[in-house]
Amino acid sequence: MAGTSVVNALAVLLILTSMMVVGTKKLRLAAYMYSIQSLVLVSIFLSLAIFMRAEPLYIWSVTALITKTFLVPYLLLRTLKTVGDQEEGMTLKTTASIFLAVLMVALAFVVVGSFHTYALLKIKVALAVSIAHFLLGLFCILTRKNALKQILGYCLLENGSHLTLALTAYNAPETVEIGILTDAVFAVLIMTVIARRLFKGFGTLDTDTHTLLKG
Amino acid sequence: MVWYALGSILLPMVGGALAPFLPERSVKKVSQFFSFLAFLCGLLLLVAFAANRTGFTQNLLTISGINFYGVTIDTLSVLVNFMVVFIGWLICTYSAGYMNAGNREHPITEGVPRFYALMQLFIGSMSGLVFSSTLLGLLVFFEITGLCSWSLIGFYGDQQSRKSALWAIILTHCAALGLYLTTAYVFLSTGSFSVSALGQLTETGKILAFVGILIASWGKSAQLPLHSWLPRAMVAPTPVSAYLHAASMVKVGVYIFARTVLEAGTVPQVIGEIGAVMAVVTMVYGFVMYFPQDDMKRLLAYSTIAQLSYMFLAISMSVYGSKLAFNGGVAHIFNHAFAKGLFFLVAGALAYTTGTRRLSMLRGILNKLPVVGLGYIAAAMAITGVPPFNGFFSKFMIILAGFEIGRYHPLILVLVIVTVIESVGSFIWILKWMGTNVLGTPSDVVASAVAPPLAIKFVLTVLILMTLISQYLVFLFLS
Amino acid sequence: MIGMGENILYALPAVPLGTALLAFGIRSRRVAEVVHLAGISILALLSLILVRDVLGGQRPFVLDGMFFADELTAILLLLIGVVGFLNGFYSIGYMRHDLAHGEVKERNISFYYGFYHLFLFTMVLSAISNNVAILWAAVEATTLGSAFLVGFYHHKTSAEGAWKYVLLCSIGLAFALYGTILTYSNAFSMVQDAHKAMLWTELVNMAPHLDPQMMKLAFVFILIGFGTKAGLFPMHTWLPDAHSEAPSPASALLSGVLLKCAFFAIIRYYAIALQAVGKGFPQTLLLIFGLLTVGVAAFFILVQNDIKRKLAYSSVEHIGIMATGLGAGGALGVFAALLHTINHSVTKSLLFCTAGNITMKYGTRDAQKIRGMGKVIPFTAFMFTAGLVTVAGSPPFNVFVSEFMTLTAVLRSGHVWPMIFLLLFLVIVFVALILLISETVLGSPPEDLPRGEVNWLTLLPFGILFLFMAGLGIYLPAPLNQLLQGAVSVVLGGK
């Protein structure tokens, strides 16, 4: 049982880091936060691999370490270099957003509570966290107006689903995981490329000003 | 005989498909040729059918055991098709004289191939509708005729004609929804698209189905409350108006009604009541609208609305079991086509030669343009129902049938009496204009008129003859 | 070529991938065009061979069943192959024109062809994958493959369109990933076989035994996820931006084929859900989403001024009709939806390509400024008119057939009110499109505009697409009918 509690504790840490990613105003800092958070994710994978004897997760943790802790933050930071560190505007006050974030975590726990499949019972907390994580990512994209912050939101979202995948489908064929990860990295890569072009065209990454196409 | 039917559907379509690729000079000749071939098919079919007089249905397009399209050859379709291709051919001939730069009301310098392509597509799809043995076929050709009329009404392309064309297609398309629903409903209830499947429906089912059909028919035949597109459509080139009013478009609605009533066996009486009441209401409306009109074509438009109400009244009365009423309706579809076609082409000839369609400016036509004047007289007499012109005979049949039914159904009696009054009223009004316009010494515009082209004269003469003899043709087939 | 058996499943993705890599490396425009033409031709040929094989009763499986082909695959591949070929052919003339007018640089032409084939590759992959995770990955990859096509022109607007496209679709697809995971873990707890629990063919077989609660949730996620990509309301907002900003042949491919890839993914899960949770749940959801989509799109078609945005919203509308068809359910509804995918692909490709020619001629996409097309570019104007009349759902063209079938199917399912709403929405669309024709095609053209078609090379695909459009409106060829019937029984579990 010790294993599950480690996993659950790490999962809570994950939520904290992701709230910090959402909450940090400096984009450079947020990117580093994301890197740290991915590290937590990797350690969850590792502990799951150890405690649940899920060998495939060793490979997962290695690939996640490479892509999420280093590659994705690197891509973001490189883009930041070209566009300059940006102060972002947001539509919600900090208190309100924290409140909403907590609400989402609660929602995730309620959703998970309704699952009955036996295999999932042991790691319910972690599962709820993964779903909450997904929702937080979504929340970040919806309420933050800076394009790079939205990319970070997408990364959170992606981390959430990655964790769900690890919890429920760690025994899936490796090809699947590789396919999904490749997609994620490419998505971030392409988004940063487009974000640079947005910056070139509009001189800002504030998506509220990108309104040439309407209706 | 099926080949003749297919000939009159497909030949004009082939001609229409060729038209855009032909040089402007030969397009008129080629189109006349193809529409003449279609007419020939219609004529041969008429002759062949006269020989044995047994109707039949042949399925043509069957996929997975469901018949999507077939042709029905019977008295109704053969007669109406003859009228469609005959007038189609005449219009194509007439247009050759009308659609040119010498036209004084509206000189035409471009778009002739487009005109002929659409016109022939129109003829072909009318034929397709007339022969269709399935509701789906009726629906498809209903919509195609709508598209054809839309592009022809908007032919000149200016703001007003575009708007009028839009009215025409939107109103008729909305009306078509009734037919969509009926077709889907009949298919779901019986598993067949065939028109005769209507007969397998329950009493309530038939009422539902016929309400859909009536809505579609009203829209296409410009009956209240879906009439408003027709007077606007008068901005079309006059040969188009003539075809719209005489042989196609407005006849689509009443033909569909007749065809479905014929195939459905017994039809609930309530449908007859609705149809008859709406017909007479529209008739009175059309009549009242005669008075403020000064544009000849608009006057004719309201006259068409009123005349179509006669046909609707007749078909509705046939629901009560009167064969005479049905025959009267069919005869009126046939006769009115020639009379109204003639009337419009006279209006077109006047516009071509004098440059105006204003009734109050026209006087002494007979004196200056004898053929046009004679055409005017024949058309007016035929429309108002003066013997020996054809309109008299069919109107007489309808009214006679009305009085027969009226003995048992007071509602019908009242309606028929209103009809008689309308008939007399429109007689007086149209003859009043006829007296003013045709007789007397020519007014300025008429006096300065140019001579109409030979093609126009030829077509007018043929149509004058038809207003005198078409009723015998009908009697031959309906007896 | 004949009788490739299962190898065709390797050849199908390999050809566009190879062509793409080749095209990226080529500098000469001429050579790139030749390579491109060869690539699309071979792909079209291969997809036709596959269709023939499937019609002959073959069910090729490769790589432990990871990739396969059934009737659904065949239909989708038919679209990718044939429509991809015609749009590809059109691209050549279009790109030459853009190059001549300085819209693009010579080097970028080969990039365009490279991305075009990369895009085709990802779509082929999504069509033939039996593994649901690969299916997801492939659909996500289509976004990434086509993002550069959307942002191909270096305009501010194309960057904005591409941004919305990638961001929204990636988010949407994250939902679909959740749906995929839920389905998998549900199946895994039953069979305890990681490989089998990922295979669609196995999932369908075991569907009646899956946990219905979880499958419901999974289906909702799938519908949101792939629905975003397919353009269902309210997740459609990226679509008009992306479709209007891309070069016209790419827009045609996006609207004509890509939407269907996502839609077919929905169909795959629809088939599972039908058996796992019963008819009611998935059908009601699809019916509601479908109708809402049609209604909202109808409104936007009416108010838009940009012709390509109008067309994009019309694509949204047609996806709505397809969803409604699935929502009506039954053999008729599914048949109608599948037939509609084919009809819409053909028609919308024609429309976007003609819109391309119109834009080239007039230098604007603003419907208020395009006048008198019938006089300036008569052939294109005719095709544009015919296409619009078709998407408006008017006979004698193909869309009428499937729309009418959809209506009938909705009526059969007993949903009278939804059908009436659908009819009303369709009337609005009809009015909007007829209005567009009468404004742009008729009327008098700007005086300084020279008459004549833009580029004769672009007209050939129009003719072919028109023939398909008219032909399918009058007759359904027996092989296609057989294919559709087969696909219906794949979806409804008749086999």
B250 and B113 in a common domain: yes
Per-residue pLDDT tens over the stretch A32-42: 888 998 999 89
Provide, as residue numbers in chain A, all residues whose Cβ is less than 8 Å from the Cβ of C131.
Answer: 173, 175-176
**Of C159, C104, C165, nearest in space to A199 by CA:** C159
Tokens of C81: 């192959």
Residue C221: its pLDDT value, please?
Answer: 92
Q: Which of B166, B185, B193 to mutate to test the interface with C (most CBs of C within 10 A)?
A: B166
A201 touches C: beta carbon within 8 Å: yes
Chain A touched by C13 (CB under 8 Å): no
Chains that touch A (3 or more CB pairs under 8 A): C
Q: Is C156 on the interface with A (CB under 8 A)?
A: yes
Domain residues for C124? 5-492
Task: For residue C326, name the pLDDT band (cuts at 50, 70, 90).
Answer: very high
Q: Could you say which of B223, B241, B265 is where a domain stops?
A: B265
Q: Does A93 touch chain C (CB under 8 A)?
A: no
| pLDDT tens, position by position, C256-265 | 999 999 999 9
Q: Is the pLDDT of residue C286 over 60?
A: yes
Q: Tell me which of A170-174, B248-252, C24-28, C425-429 is least confident.
A: A170-174
- Say if residue B248 is in the same domain as residue B295: no
Q: For B335-364, what is each residue's pLDDT tens digit?
A: 999 999 998 888 888 888 887 777 778 788
- Return the CA Rg of chain A: 17
Q: How far is CA B183 from CA B176, B191, C60, C93, in A?
A: 11, 11, 41, 44
Residue C129 DSSP SS3: strand
Q: Using a CB–CB cutoff of 8 Å, tell me whether C331 touches chain B.
A: no
For residue A187, give the nearest of C166, C240, C304 by CB distance. C166
- Predicted confidence at residue A2, as pLDDT, reads 65
* Nearest to B250, CA basis, from B113, B136, B349, B344: B344
| Domain co-membership, B39 together with B111 | yes
Residue C298, judged by CB atoms within 10 A of its CB (0-12, 13-18, 19+), counts as buried
Q: Give how many domains chain C has, as a whole number.
A: 1
Q: What are the C-alpha distances in Å from C19 to residues A139, B49, B280?
A: 40, 64, 71
What range defines the domain where residue B301 resides? 268-479
Max alpha carbon distance in chain A (Å)? Answer: 56
Say whether C407 and B180 touch across the interface (CB within 8 A): yes
Q: Which residue has the tokens 């291969």?
A: C46
The residues, ordered by sequence, that sit 6+ positions from C163 with a Cβ below 8 Å of its Cβ are A147, A191, A194, A195, A198, A207, A210
For the stretch B30-51, pLDDT in tens is: 888 999 999 999 999 988 988 8
Residues B257 and B273 in one domain: no
- Using a CB cutoff of 8 Å and minimum separation of 24, what contacts does C58-65 make? C58/C5, C60/C5, C60/C6, C60/C8, C60/C9, C61/C6, C61/C130, C62/C6, C62/C9, C62/C10, C64/C195, C65/C130, C65/C131, C65/C199, C65/C201
DSSP conformation letters of B53-73: ---EEEEEEEETTEEEEEEEE
Burial B320-331 (b: 16+ CB within 10 A, else e): bebebbbbbbbb
Q: Are residues B122 and B198 in the same domain?
A: yes
Residue of chain C whose alpha carbon sits nearest to that of A187: C144
Integer Cα distance of C252 and C347 in angstroms: 9
The better pLDDT of the pair C384, C27 is held by: C384
Contact C345, C79 (CB under 8 A): yes
Please check whether residue B331 is in contact with residue B367, taking contact to mean a CB–CB distance below 8 angstroms. Answer: no
Q: For B318-334, what is the mean pLDDT?
A: 89
Question: What pLDDT does residue C88 have?
Answer: 93
Burial letters C38-62, b for 16+ CB under 10 A, else e: ebbebbbebbbbbbebbbeeeebbb
- Residue C164 at interface with chain A, using a CB cutoff of 8 Å: yes
- pLDDT digits over C98-124, tens only? 888 888 888 888 899 999 999 999 999
Please name the residues in contact with C90: beta carbons below 8 A apart, sequence gap of 6 or more: C248, C249, C252, C353, C356, C458, C461
The pLDDT assigned to C464 comes to 92
Contacts of A109 (CB under 8 A, 6+ apart): A128, A132
Contact C159 A201 (CB under 8 A): yes
Name the least confident of B294-303, C81-90, C225-234, C409-418: B294-303
Q: Is C250 helix (H, G, I), strand (E, B) or coil?
A: helix
* Residue C321 pLDDT: 95
pLDDT confidence tier of residue C495, bands split at 50, 70 and 90: very low
- pLDDT at position C18 over 90: yes
Same domain for B362 and B438, yes or no, is yes
Put simply, the answer to whether C434 touches B188 (Cβ < 8 Å) is: no
Select the residue from B145, B180, B189 to test the C interface by mutation, using most C Cβ atoms within 10 A. Answer: B180
- Out of B218, B233, B265, pick the residue that ends a domain: B265
Query: Which band of pLDDT confidence, cut at 50, 70 and 90, is reported for residue C1?
Result: very low
Residues ≥6 apart with Cβ < 8 Å to B119? B16, B31, B88, B91, B92, B95, B148, B152, B239, B240, B243
Specify whether the CB–CB gap between A123 and A4 falls below 8 A: yes
CA B86 to chain centre: 12
Q: Is the model's pLDDT at A168 over the cut of 60?
A: yes
Taken as a whole, chain B contains a residue count of: 479
Return the pLDDT at A214: 67
Say whether pLDDT at C60 is over 90: no
| Chain B with chain C: Cβ pairs closer than 8 A | 70
Task: Work out whether strand B66-73 and strand B56-63 pair parallel, antiparallel, or are unpaired.
Answer: antiparallel
Tell me whether C443 touches chain B (CB under 8 Å). Answer: yes
> Rounded mean pLDDT of B313-325?
88
Percent of chain B whose predicted confidence (pLDDT) is above 90: 24
Coil vs helix vs strand at C64: coil
Among C150-154, C380-384, C462-466, the range scoring the smallest mean pLDDT is C150-154
Residue in the structure block whose two tokens are 């990860």: A181
Q: Return the closest-CA partner of residue C308 out of C346, C358, C345, C374.
A: C358
Number of domains into which chain B is organized: 2
| DSSP run (H or E) holding C61 | strand C61-62
Residue C20 has pLDDT above 70, yes or no: yes
Average pLDDT over chain C reads: 90
pLDDT, average across residues B254-283: 90
Nearest CA to C211 out of C200, C203, C202 is that of C203
| Residue B375, H or E segment | helix B370-384
A49 neighbors A55 (Cβ within 8 angstroms):
yes
The stretch B238-264 carries a mean pLDDT of: 88
Above 60 in pLDDT, residue A120? no
Q: Is A147 on the interface with C (CB under 8 A)?
A: yes
Residue C389 tokens, joined: 């009349």
Closest chain C residue to A140 measured between Cα atoms?
C171
**In this structure, what DSSP letter does residue C68 have?**
E
- Residue B323 identity: K
**Cis before residue C396, ω within 30 degrees of 0?**
yes
Report how far residue C126's alpha carbon sits from residue C121's, in angstroms, rounded to the nearest whole number. Answer: 9
Distances, alpha carbon B117 to alpha carbons B121, B302, B345, in Å: 6, 28, 20
pLDDT at C494: 60
Is A90 a residue whose pLDDT tops 70? Answer: no
Residues B180 and B316 in one domain: no
Same domain, B210 and B325: no
* Sign of the torsion formed by the C-alpha atoms of C67, C71, C76 and C81: positive
Across the range B278-294, mean pLDDT stands at 88
Q: Which range among A171-175, B26-30, B151-155, B179-183 shows the weakest confidence by mean pLDDT?
A: A171-175
Q: How many CB atoms lie within 10 A of CB C450?
A: 7
pLDDT more than 70, % of chain A: 88
Q: How confident is the model at residue A88 (pLDDT cuts 50, 70, 90)?
A: low
Alpha carbons within 13 A on the beta-carbon side of C481:
10
